[in-house]
Every structure is written in structure tokens, then in C-alpha cells.
Structure 1
Amino acid sequence: MILTGLSFWTRLRLIDRSNIVIWDEAHFGKFGSHYIEHEYYTDVHPPLGKLLVAFSGWLANFDGAFKFESGAEYPEGMDYRTMRIFSASWGAMMVPLAYLTARKADYSILASILGATMVLCDTAYLTISRFVLLDSMLLFFTCLTCYSLFGFHHQQDHSFSLAWWSWLSLIGVSLGCVLSVKWVGLFAVGLVGIYTLQDLWDKLADMEMSRKTYVSHWSARALCLIILPIIIYLVCFKIHFDLLYKSGTGDDDMSPLFQAHLEGNAFGESALELAFGSNITIRTLAPEQSLLHSHHHTYPEGSEQHQVTGYYFQDENNHWLIRLPRNDDINYKNFDITHNSRDYDDLGVRYINDGDIIRLNHMATSRNLHSHSFASPNSNNKQHFLEVSAYGDDERGDVKDNWKIEVVKHLDSYSGSRIHTMATHFRLRHVELGCLLAVTQKRLPVWGYYQMEIGCASNAEDINDLRTVWMAETNQHEKLSSPPQNTYKYHFFRDFWYLNKLMWRSNNALIPDPDKEDILSSTPTQWPMVGVGLRMCRWDDDTIKFFLLGNPMVWWTSFISVITFTILHITYIVREKRQIHDKEQARWNQSFSIGKSLLLGWFLHYIPFYIMGRVMYLHHYFPALYFSILLVPFLLDHFTAQSNGRQRFLIFGILMILVISNFIYFSPFSYGMDGPIDAYSGRSWMKWWNLTKKY
């Protein structure tokens, strides 16, 4: 209770001292406002943490109007204090969880207090918890996963009891939540997965366990550790989609079918079926999702005709008019243009069907989509991609302007031959050359404004090759009206999968820019030994400044404990091989599974960052730090097992005094520094901390 009280006091103290948007409050506060205003947005993280931010805004009677611009002052009357208190409460609960986890791991009282005190007094944990961010929630659910795992470990002799099921279910809930805040939660999933597989492997060797019981163990874990987290993850996205039903800043990132069901989005006004005379925009299904585009600029070589490119943004140069094909008596290989569909309605509208041959006329330049035997600019090889250009006009042109529509699939329930806007995926085959219109996934040089290259694929016959698959994104026709409401239906699992792929691509795209100096980013080698700090706001004299930096005594001893545990384990392996059996060896063997889980938790949450290409920041180390902190009292318990009470109290007391004194000394970094930063230069123990350097 004392530790919990101190935790809340340290986290909430002076929490509203700075009334400006600090660091990533600019992102996550803004996402919370989108939920309150129901405006659709996209982000690289799953929704749970941002839903909780929105909930804190609701508690604070926030109307969503303030958009959390970086460094902006909170408007008068906005209760940002309540939102910060909500976030800080998650961070405050880490301290009692650390104590309870240590007790579940059979730590001594002194060791449990030390572990909780180190979490309490870490200035990095304190600072990150005091703002409207996701990290305090991520850390809480990571701690809850560790606590529930050790709690379940204690129930191994009471399989299928109520307590056993409760702890196993709590692991599943915590995994579902930590994964739904950030994908870093996958490392916690890995920790639990490894523990579970080893546990089931050990049970396989139990000759007294029946096959039915063993299968039941597998079934219970599948239910609680796989199905339950998946359900929580899915429910978070369902709430996300249900709350964001209005058009917003993230529309363009989603599929046109999804956008069409959003209130205020113009895609829902597109005519359902394509017809000759339709004004359409066409988007590729390839990951780039470029729109078919042309402009007045020409290729510098090859045909020297107008360029045809892929362009991501909405633009008047993306519009194409579907016209009748060039009707000629030439035999187009296996295609007969005279068999074009004659599907008319009462208004004289002639609809486009699967297999129809069309001509696409670029509306801004009056040129026709065209291909010929020149190689595309980036391939220089006719066997791969031929050049696609815009050529001629409504009167002037030839049969190389003709393209055949080949339906790949319908996303809606329609099974006929007509082409539906947004719902029909199709390919465009050049009638004369037999190649397929495709995005080459290469960018044009400066003369093409670095837009995506469009070519005609000579050897692309794979129907699943998304480079050659297109859809009509918008469709306007003077004789066709907008479809009835809810024509373009929302499909949860389709949009869920689409959004998760988008998040994956966006995460992978967060790579360092070599042309820009990023004073906030860091590398994994800088983290464990407090080799770097992070400025969280402006650094001028008039701003209250916050510096994200760990307590050196906490971080240094934690990293040393990782190294010590590894060396110690190797030592005990050698001792056991040499048949040395004493109380020290027995004590190590008995408690090793706890230490191993903590080391594995640190390893899984830290080492993968060495192979990631994305930009990284100091806070990425915080989940790993928690596991290494708990290793410190674990090792002290082991080393002092033979010491008397006074010696143990002295050893633990000295370390706690060092941790607390470091915390007090560096606390201005967390509670805010006012005035010139040079006044705090004495606290810059290492020159690479970047505390006082001017930029």
C-alpha cells in the first residue's frame, strides 16, 4: 500500500505544470479527438491504447475540437489534466504489479520491495507515464503478462482448478491487451509461447498423465492463449471501425469500398456500374495503390509520347473517359472486336461487361491510353515491360488504343458479367500486343517527377499478381445516378485484414532519413547503459523542459544483472557437469526457471531491435528494462541466501539508497526544468546525453 501510494504521488505530482502539447501527445491526443468526433484516421498502432486515450478525453468532457498540434498551448477550459492523470494511473500501477510479481516468484520481502522501488524510482518510467501517450498502457499490460505468467506457474500442481483457469485466462487477456496497444506486444506473446511449449513438452514426459489429460492441456492453452487474445484484438478493431463512421484524414489509406460507407465521403456517390461514357479513376491493387495518371509531359526517349504514370494522390489528371474502341478489320489475334457486348438499358446506356474491348481517353489531355513495342523506361527489356503512353485523341489514333477488360473477381455478392465500381477487380489486356497493364513497382527519374512507372507486362499471366490488377475507384456518368444508400457494404474481416496489412507496411516504412539529422532517434546499443536521453519539447529558456532519461543506478545495475545471470548460469552448468551438488547448486536449480523467464523476457523485448530497419527511440527499450530490473533482486536474493538478516538489510538498503538518491537528483528531468538549461549542466554526467547542447 505504501509503494502504491508513493507511485501515484510521484506520477501525479505537478502533472499539469506544462500546459503545452508534449512530444507524442501531438499524435495520440489527436487520435483520441478523432474518436470523439467519429472521424476516420489511420495509424501504425492497433487501436486499444488510442481508444483508452479517447475514453480519458470523454472523462474530461473533451469535445474533440482541439487537434493537439505539437507544442501548442492547451486551450483555456480544456481539462488536459484529467487525460494525463488517466495515462499516469497505468504507469503508477506498474509498481504494485512489480511487487506482486516478485512475491509470486518467491522473492524475499526485501527483494520484492527493492524490485518495486527500482520501478518506482526510474525517471524514464516516471516521465513517460505523465503525458497522454500509449507507453504507460503498454508497460502496464506487459507487467500484467509477467505477473499472470508467474501466477499461473504457481498453479502447476492444481491443473484445471478454478485458480488455474483464472491465471491462464488472465495471461490471455493481458496478451490480447498488450498486443492491441502496440505490436511490440508480440514479444510478450513470444515469451508466453516459449514458456507454454516447454511446459507442454515437460508434461509429455509425465508417464502418469493420461492422453486425454494431455490433450486437455493443449486445448486449454489454445482457448486461453490463442483464441482469447485474438478475440480481444478483433473486438478492439470492431470498436475502432464502429466509432469512426465519418470521413476523416485517414480515408485515402483505406480501400475505396471502405471509404464509400463513411459519412461525407464522395466515393459512395459513384455510379455502381461502368458504361461507355463513364468518367472513371482507376487504382492498382499493388501495394503502392497508385492511380492511373497522365499529364502533358512526354517521355524523353522511346515513343516520346505523353507519359502515363502511377500517382497516389487525387488529381484532375487521374480521370479517364471510357470510349468505344478503334473498330478496325484487323484480326486482333484471339480477340474479335465485333463481338463487343450490346448490353443497353432503357436510357440507351451501354454497360461494360467482362471481355469487352474499350478505349480509355485521358480527359485532361484528350490522349488515349496506348502501348507499343518500345521497352518501358526502367526495364530496357521488351520481354518484361513495354512502354505505356498517351497518344492521339478522339479522332486520331490506331488499334493500339484498344484494351480488353478481364474480370479477376467481385468483392460483392454480384456474380454477373458487368463491372462494378470499387467491387470488381479486373485486368486490362492490350488487344494488339497481348500484354497486361501493370505498375512496375519502380519510380521514374526526375523527368517523371518520381511517380510510379506504368508498363505493359509481357509475361504476367498470374491472376494473383496484383501489379496487373485494377479497379475503378470513382465512376461518374451523365445518365447514371448515384446508387442507393448502403450499396457499397462494409465488411469487417476484409477491412480488418486490409488495415493490418497497411499498418505493417507503414511500420516498415518508418526508416531513418540519411539526409536529415534526427536528434531524437537512437540505436539499441545506446539504451542499456543510459547512453542517450530524449528531449520531449522545445528547449528554449521560456519553455518548461522535459528530458526522457533513465535513472542510471536502475539501468546500470539492471544491465549488469543480465550479464551476471548469464555468466552465473554457465558456471552452474559446468558445476553440474562436474557432479558438484550442494545447497547453492540446489537453490539455483530450484529458482532458475524464474530467472530464465526474466532473461528471456529481456532478450525478446530488446534483441529484435538490432535487426529492425525502422527508426528507433529510447522508449522502445522500456518493456525490456522491466524484466532486467526484476533480475536485480532475484540475483541479490541468491547471493545473500547465506547471509544473516543484518547483512542482507545492509546490502539491499545500500542499493535502495543509491536508487532513491539518483531519483531525487534527476527528478527535475521528469517534473520539468524551467529557465536556461545551462543551470542543469551538472546533471549531464555524459556528454552524449544531449542535455545542454544548442541546436
Structure 2
Amino acid sequence: MAAQDATTSALDAHGDARKRHVAGQPNGTFVPVIPRVPDEKEKAKHKTTSLLQTLDDYEFIIAPLIFTALAFFTRMWKIGLSPIVTWDEAHFGKFGSHYLKREFYFDVHPPLGKMLVGLSGLLAGYNGSFEFKSGETYPEELNYTYMRVFNSAFGALCIPLAYFTAKELHFKRPTVWLITAMVLCENSYTTISRFILLDSMLLFFTFTTVFTWAKFHNQRHDPFSPEWGFWLMMSGLSIGCVCSVKWVGMFGTALVGLYTIEDLWNKFGNLRMPKVELAAHVGFRVVGLIILPLMVYMFSFWIHFLILENSGPGDAQMSSLFQANLRGTEVGKDSPLEIALGSRATLKNMGYGGGLLHSHVQTFPEGSQQQQITCYHHKDANNDWFFYPNRDEPLFDPEAPLKFVGNGDTLRFVHAQTGRNLHSHQVSAPVTKSDYEVSCYGNTTVGDTKDHWIIEVVDDAASSDYSKIRTLTTAFRLKHADLGCYLRAGNVNLPQWGFKQIETTCVKVNKPRDVYTHWNVESHWNEKLPPGDPGSYKSPFLRDFVHLNVAMMTSNNALVPDPDKQDDLASAPWQWPLLNVGLRMCSWDDETVKYFLLGNPLVYWGSTASLGIFVAMLAWYLIRWQRGYDELTWAQVDHFHYSGIYPVIGWVLHYLPFLAMARVTYVHHYYPALYFAILCAGFIVDWYTRALPKRVQWTLFSVLYAAVVGLYWLFRAISFGMEGPNQQWSHLRWLEGWKMADE
């Protein structure tokens, strides 16, 4: 017994034995058990299991790091291979140059993305002197590669955003990886991110909007907490940024808006919620999702105006008073302040995006067939008019004492280049048939009272004395003395025979607040009058902000297909989800590095098919629910609602408007909608594989991973650059519209 105790004590001391009760032995009797030493194979297995467990525990760090590294590689590898201005780099590179030279320009897109392009040029040491002509080779002193890398970083950061968004939508891990891989290996996303364009920034802020919305939604059970408030404000900030890059961002705003309306409606129906708490929910959302985005959007324009302090090519889109405050402008420069008979001047329409009253020797092809009157944004001598007495008064005498022009005066306006009178009559306007036509007729001696116009002052930024109209500061209307109609230049463009210039008519309805009937004197010449300084009056920011946004909207709506020209790059929206067509981004000769804008076939066709499958699923479950089947838990319904329905709504909001738009459309307009289709595809795969055995799940996902990556690699040349004869990629031309190779 003593020997047994000694043995047991020794084993216990070394920690190499365990005690166990042995059946059939007296109570309290234990025998030592010496563990077996594992062999090398078991040790290796243990190490592997430990490694896998570690990778599993830290997947939330390791996976996004790997995906992000791959994202930066695919978006930036060989990014400087093509040394020529490619596709829309001709536009957005030029806009970046204007910021560096601080010249005012006009474009249909908000300024944030273009300011970031300008910032990339500044960081690259670019001075803004290059013209960015399409197809032209970049000069050695312009580090275009740096500018492309700067822009591509936004595209690369979309990949980790996709990863974390999928996690916030509560997809299982293989689905999160699939969604991230589909964004990473989407060829069109890779290609569009590798140039000096706005699309990578648009996609980045679209991704941040969805991510911040998902984060905020997941805080719904802890309202008014710091995290809840933070993600609400981040959603508003992201909405403001995406709308400040392109107006397509408004569709993402609509998605968050619909979610907010539903959320508040549900809270409104909760009778147990105190009214003060409900009011607080409404107030927080008004501040976070309306006021904050609007402030961000307006701030981008404030910076835009602050930077672009010099006169530039976009001046004519702005009000005369705004132009007069630009450095180097000719508007208002040394112009006499007060207008007199005999003065030569240009008349600016004060409507949003309004042009200068214009005439040229061409005549109307129908109607009166007299000389055309239009509104024109570009400055030339055909915009000049003389202020002359009406026909009931003596002819203008240059030697007579000065007679100033004021409110209520009846005048004639004589076109300086042709000597004809601004005229109207009871002939329908060429496009707006409800208005009267305005033409140029007669000369300084030949004419009638239909050449008479009465000045009606609306406002004056310089004085309350309307007895004299002033350069830039006086807003006035021109009323036809015989017909009682008002000179108006709206947003209607004439056909090609009118050079697409703005139709100018005499509107019969008297609407004093219609700014398209308001005019001011922009430039003024009169040797008998001393030079003034009308530019000392500042144009209010809010007025300039509204003016520029309406001008952008008007110009954007005017981007309609020209039936007289064939646009080989344009495409119809129905072609996009089917991947029916691609887009050549540059010249297709053998010496040029060629890029073809086309998506990964599996990503496109799979995501498009998933939309149809989802609609069928929704119909199926609704019918089953109506028939009394209770097969889904509330957790499943919630997941179906927020992780399935909302991505589909996002796709609808970003895609369907293009079907109704009259403007010209291109394949890249589909890219924000594609992201929501990818999320829908992830939902479908996640939903139908969740109940499968783990081994079957991983087998299916492995096949999908391999297919997505394999097709991306197969089509890699269209993204990274095709060198040499294009016929070597003819095997990739699966469809007729994929013109990466000539037949």
C-alpha cells in the first residue's frame, strides 16, 4: 500500500497521470492512468486545427485585408500603361485643370468629384496647362499615372465596403465572400476605376451610403445611443457626398428616404411610444437625412465658387452680376453705369441658365420667314443691340443731349450687326406655338409700332430709383407695346436650323415672377458716359447656387440623342442588365493600348437572373401567406425584408429612371444599379444554401468563387489594356455587341 501511494504521489507531482475509479475496487481506491504520448501525425493535425481556429476567429480582420490588397492590385496594376487621354478623361481632366487655374467653367454634374480630380492634379504637381484633348498623348511633365491612382483608390475601397455591408446584412460567411468577390472581380468596375473619371467616386459614395444605412438599421433597437446617432449622421454625410458627385446619387437618397418613411410610419403606429419620443425620431432624421446632406451639397458649391474666382469658359451660364465679380472678366468692365439712348449693350436673360439676346442673318424656315431671334450663351458681336427712340419720337441724334432710359419708357432695340429691329407679331412661335414669334425686321427707318417695347423694371440691386436702368443691377421686363406680350427665353431649344439655340418668344400670359421674362444689361458701351463699377455689387450665394443648379438640370435634359448623328458609344438601358453591349474607350488601331468597358458575364447574368428569381420568391411567399401558410419565422421575414427587398428597391431606383430619360445613355450609367443586383444575387444564394450541409455549401460556393475569378481572369485584358492587333481577342467576342475585336 505504501508503494502504491508513493507511485501515485510521484505521478501526481509530475502532472502526467489522472486518477479514475476502477469498478470492482473498494470505495476510495483509484489507479493511476498514464496518458499516451501523441505521435507526429497527431501533433500536425492538432497544429492545423489550431491554425484554422485562429483564422476562423480573426476572419473579420484577415479577409477584408486580403480582399483590400487584391482590390488595390487589380485597380492599379499597369494603370499608367496607356499614355493617351482616354474616353471621358478629356472632360474631367479638363475640369480638374480649371480648378488648378481657378477658371470658372460649366458642367452638368455637381462639383465634388471634379474638385477631387483637381486635387489629384495638385498633388501630382500638375499646373493645369494641358488641354486634355481626346486621344492626345500626355506630356512628360504631367504625372497622369498619379492622377489615375488617386481616382482608382476610390474604386479599390469599394471592395472592403462591400464586405462589411454584406456582414451588416447578416449574410453567412461564404455569401459575404461571394459578394465581395463579385465586386472585386467585376471587370467593368476594374476598368472604370483606372482612369481620371467620376465613376469610381460615385461608386464609392454609393457603397458608403448602403453601408452606413445598414449600420444605422442594425442600431434600431438602441435608439438615441451614440452609435445610433453616429451612423445616422454618417448616412446623411454619405448621401450629401454621393449627390455632390453626380445626381445619380439622388436615387440612393430615395432608397434611404423610403426606408425612413417606413420606419417612421411603423413608429407612428406604435401607440405605446410617447409622442415626445416620436417627435425626437422625426427631428433626428430631418437633421441627419435632410439638413446635413443639403449642407454638404451646398458646401461643395460654396467651395466651387470660392476656388473658381477667375473668368473662364462657363461664365455665360451665370448671371451678369456673378460674372462681373470674376477676375479678368469683360462683363461690366468699364461699362457706364446708367443706360442712355444710343447706348450699345448686350441683354442677358435672367432665367436659370439663360443666354444673351441674339440674332443672325439666317431666317425662320416657316412662319414670318424673317430674321431669327434666339438666346445664345457664347459672346460675339451678334449679341449687341442699340437702344433707340420709338417711332413716335424724332430719330436718334448723336449730338443731342443725353436722355437716360428708365421704367415705363417705350423703345426700339436695333441689332448692331444687321440694323434690323427687335419685332413681334401675331405669328405663332416655331416651337412654342402658344407664344408669338419674335423676329428681326426692317431697319432704322423702315418699320412700324410692332418694333416698340416698354421697359418694366422688376428690381434693382443698386437703387430703389427706377427712373434709370443700370448695367448689371437692374432687372427689367420688355412688354410689346401693341400685343401686350412679354419677351421670354425659356428652356426650349430650336431645331438644327436654329443651331440648337434657345427659342425666344413673346409670351401672352403675364407672370411677373417668371424669371425667364426678366432681363438685364450685361455689357454697355457709350462714349459720352463715364465708366462705372457695377461689379462692386455682390451676387448672393443662394441665388447663384439655385441659378447654377437649374442651369445644370436644363443642360442635362438637353443631352438628347441627335437623330442626324450616329453615336457608336451610346446604348439603350435594356441592353445593360443583359450585358448585350460594351463600349470602346479609345482608338482601336494596333499601336494604341485598348480598353473595352464590359462586365464579368457571370456577375451580370447571375445578378440579373437573381432579380427575376427574387420577384418569383416574393410572389410565392405572398401567395402562401395569403393562403394561411406560416412557414417563415419573424427573423426570416425581417431578413427577407431588409436584406432582400431593399437591395431590389435600390436596383429599381437606380435603373428604371434611365428607361424614362430622353437623354443619351451609356453602359456606365448602370454601374450603381449593378451593385444592388449583386447584393440581390448574394441574398438568393444565401437563402437557398443556408439549410444545406456545410460540405455541400462549401462545394457550391467554391464552384461560384472559381467561376467568378476565372471569368475575370479570362477577360482581364479588356481591363488592364489590350496591346497589339485587336483580332487576338476575337475569342472573347461571345455576343455581337462585344466589339473588342474587329471581324
Instruction: Render the CA deviation track for 1:490-523: whole Å, top value 9, x for unaligned.
Output: 3211111111011101111111122222221111
2 CA distance for matches of 1:639 and 1:150? 22
Matches within 5 A, 1:455-474: 459-466=508-515, 468-474=517-523
Is residue 2:436 matched to residue 1:385? Answer: yes
Conserved? CA contact 1:435–1:456, under 8 Å: yes
The equivalent of 1:343 in structure 2 is: none
Could you tell me which of 608, 611, 634 is aligned with 2:683?
Answer: 634
Instruction: Render the CA deviation track for 1:214-271: whole Å, top value 9, x for unaligned.
Output: 0000000000000000000000000111111111111122222221111111113122
Is residue 2:659 matched to residue 1:610? Answer: yes
Q: Secondary structure at the match of 1:482?
A: coil
The equivalent of 1:429 in structure 2 is: 479
Could you tell me which of 338, 341, 348 is aligned with 1:276?
Answer: 341
The equivalent of 1:192 in structure 2 is: 256
2 CA distance for matches of 1:7 and 1:169? 28
Matches within 5 A, 1:221-236: 221-236=285-300
CA shift, 1:72, in A, is 0.8
Give the TM-score normalised by the residue count of structure 2.
0.85
Is residue 2:456 matched to residue 1:406? Answer: yes
Matches within 5 A, 1:100-119: 100-119=164-183
CA shift, 1:107, in A, is 1.3
CA shift, 1:411, in A, is 4.7
- Of 102-111 and 127-136, deviating more is 102-111
CA shift, 1:303, in A, is 8.3
2 CA distance for matches of 1:14 and 1:218? 50
1 CA distance for matches of 2:289 and 2:77? 38
Q: Secondary structure at the match of 1:147?
A: helix
Instruction: Render the CA deviation track for 1:549-607: whole Å, top value 9, x for unaligned.
Output: 10011111111111111111221222222332346786345443221111111111111
2 CA distance for matches of 1:436 and 1:99? 59
Conserved? CA contact 2:151–2:193, under 8 Å: yes
The AA in structure 2 aligned to 1:393 is: T
Structure 2: runs of 5+ lacking an equivalent: 1-64
Matches within 5 A, 1:458-537: 459-466=508-515, 468-484=517-533, 486-537=535-586
Conserved? CA contact 1:376–1:388, under 8 Å: no
2 CA distance for matches of 1:442 and 1:192? 34
The equivalent of 2:272 in structure 1 is: 208
Conserved? CA contact 1:292–1:308, under 8 Å: no
CA shift, 1:447, in A, is 8.5
The equivalent of 1:147 in structure 2 is: 211
Is residue 2:730 matched to residue 1:681? Answer: yes
2 CA distance for matches of 1:440 and 1:12? 46
Conserved? CA contact 1:308–1:454, under 8 Å: no
- Of 289-298 and 503-512, deviating more is 289-298
Give the TM-score normalised by the residue count of structure 1.
0.90
The equivalent of 2:379 in structure 1 is: 314
2 CA distance for matches of 1:180 and 1:242? 16
CA shift, 1:81, in A, is 1.1
Conserved? CA contact 1:275–1:352, under 8 Å: yes
Cα RMSD, aligned residues only: 2.9
Conserved? CA contact 2:431–2:494, under 8 Å: no
Is residue 2:420 matched to residue 1:356? Answer: no
Conserved? CA contact 1:278–1:475, under 8 Å: yes
Structure 1: runs of 5+ lacking an equivalent: 330-336, 338-346
TM-aligned CA distance change 1:385 to 1:399, over 3 Å: closer
The AA in structure 2 aligned to 1:606 is: Y
Could you tell me which of 226, 230, 233 is aligned with 1:166?
Answer: 230
2 CA distance for matches of 1:689 and 1:301? 45
2 CA distance for matches of 1:442 and 1:625? 34
CA shift, 1:422, in A, is 2.5
2 CA distance for matches of 1:616 and 1:367? 42
2 CA distance for matches of 1:9 and 1:272? 61
TM-aligned CA distance change 1:456 to 1:52, over 3 Å: closer
The equivalent of 2:388 in structure 1 is: 323
Is residue 2:77 matched to residue 1:13? Answer: yes
TM-aligned CA distance change 1:243 to 1:586, over 3 Å: closer
1 CA distance for matches of 2:431 and 2:122? 55
The AA in structure 2 aligned to 1:613 is: A
CA shift, 1:392, in A, is 4.2
The AA in structure 1 aligned to 2:556 is: N
The equivalent of 1:571 in structure 2 is: 620
The equivalent of 1:692 in structure 2 is: 741
The equivalent of 2:87 in structure 1 is: 23
Could you tell me which of 184, 190, 194 is aligned with 1:126?
Answer: 190
TM-aligned CA distance change 1:588 to 1:412, over 3 Å: same
CA shift, 1:86, in A, is 0.8
Identity rate of aligned residues, in percent? 44
Conserved? CA contact 2:236–2:289, under 8 Å: yes
Q: Secondary structure at the match of 2:342?
A: coil
Q: Secondary structure at the match of 2:522?
A: strand
Q: Secondary structure at the match of 1:689?
A: coil
1 CA distance for matches of 2:365 and 2:693? 86
2 CA distance for matches of 1:587 and 1:456? 63
Could you tell me which of 38, 57, 60 is aligned with 2:124?
Answer: 60
Q: Secondary structure at the match of 1:87?
A: helix
TM-aligned CA distance change 1:622 to 1:276, over 3 Å: same
Could you tell me which of 672, 683, 701 is aligned with 1:623?
Answer: 672
1 CA distance for matches of 2:351 and 2:246? 26
Conserved? CA contact 1:36–1:64, under 8 Å: yes
2 CA distance for matches of 1:72 and 1:366? 44
2 CA distance for matches of 1:120 and 1:366? 65
2 CA distance for matches of 1:52 and 1:292? 36
1 CA distance for matches of 2:234 and 2:466? 49
Structure with max Cα Rg: 2
1 CA distance for matches of 2:656 and 2:367? 50
What is the aligned length?
Answer: 673
CA shift, 1:125, in A, is 0.5
- Of 14-23 and 584-593, deviating more is 584-593
2 CA distance for matches of 1:47 and 1:261? 20
- Of 99-108 and 295-304, deviating more is 295-304
CA shift, 1:42, in A, is 0.5
